[in-house]
Structure 1
Amino acid sequence: MPSTIRVFDPALCCSTGVCGPSIDPELARFAADVDWLRTQGVTVERFNLAQQPGAFAETAAVKEALARGNEVLPLVMVDDRIAVEGSYPSRQTLAALAGVVIKTEPAKATECCAPKSGTKSGCC
C-alpha cells in the first residue's frame, strides 16, 4: 500500500502557484507533481498555514518544527514522519518517498530518425 503524504505549506493565496500577480514556477511544478502522485494511487493532503492553521497546531511534529521558525515550511510528512523541510521536493523524490516507481518509456524513432532501407544511419 502506498504511503500517505502530507504537505504543510507556508501561508499562500493558493497551492497551485498560478494565483495573484505573478506565477511561482516552483509551486506550479510541485502542484503538477502532486497531481501526478495522486494518479499513482498515493493519498496526498495539503495544508495551508493561512487557511488551515489548526492542522499545523494539531500535528505534534509540525508544531515542534515550527518552534524553530517558519523557514522550515514547506514540510513534507510521510506516514506521520517529517521527510523534507524547507523546500518542495522533486517528482523523483516524491515518488521515492511514496514508494512509487516512475515509469519511463524509450523515445520512439520517427521516420526521419529511423534507418532507411539500404542505409545504416538514421540521419536524414
Structure 2
Amino acid sequence: MGIIRIYDPAMCCDTGVCGPSVDPELTRVATAIFMLEKENIDIRRFNLGSEPQAFIEEKAIKELLHEKGADDALPAVMVDGTIVKTGKYPTNQEFAKWSGLSEDKISSKPSSGNNITLL
C-alpha cells in the first residue's frame, strides 16, 4: 500500500464538489478518496487555494509548479514520495494499483448508513 498525496488546483472547497454545477470527475475522485480512507489507506488531498503551505513544503511539487505552472501541473499525484501523475486525476484503476485494493472496492458508492425501509 502506497502513501498517496493529491495536490489539487485552487478550488472553492476541499473536494471541489460544490457550487451550482458539480464536475462528475471531481465527484468520482471524492468518492474514491472516501472509500480509500474508509479502508485505512494513507491518502491526503491538498487544495492550493486553502493549503498553499503544503505545496511549498513538498520540494518535488514546488519544483513542478515552478517548471509547468499550476494550470498544467495540477492536479498532481505523489505515491511514496514520487510524482506519478500530473495534469489529470487518477483513474479508479490507478487508485486500486497504488492502494492494493480492488477497483470494485474503490468504485463502490458509500452507504448513507440509513437503514430506513419505505413502505
Shared fold, TM over 0.5: yes
Q: Which has the larger radius of gyration?
A: 1
Deviations 1:17-68 (A, max 9, x none): 3311211111011000111112222111110000000000010000111011
Normalized per residue, which structure has more helix? 2
Pairs within 5 Å for 1:86-97: 86-97=87-98
Aligned residue type for 2:98: L
Q: Residue in 2 aligned with 1:44?
A: 43
- State the alpha-carbon separation in 2 of the partners of residues 93 and 34 from structure 1: 12
Structure 1 residue runs of 4 or more that deviate by more than 2 Å after TM superposition: 15-18, 98-104
Percentage of pairs with the same residue: 46
Structure 2 Cα separation of the partners of residues 65 and 20 of structure 1: 29
Aligned residues: 103
Normalised to the residue count of structure 1, the TM-score between the two structures is 0.76
State the structure with bigger RCO (CA 8 A, min sep 6), 1 or 2: 2
For 1:46, what is the secondary structure of its paired residue? strand
What TM-score, normalized by structure 2, do the two folds share? 0.79
Over the aligned positions, Cα root-mean-square deviation in angstroms equals 1.5
For structure 2, list consecutive stretches of 5 or more residues without a partner in the other structure.
106-119
Which ranges in structure 1 are unaligned for 5 or more consecutive residues? 105-124
- In 2, distance between residues paired with 1:16 and 1:54? 18
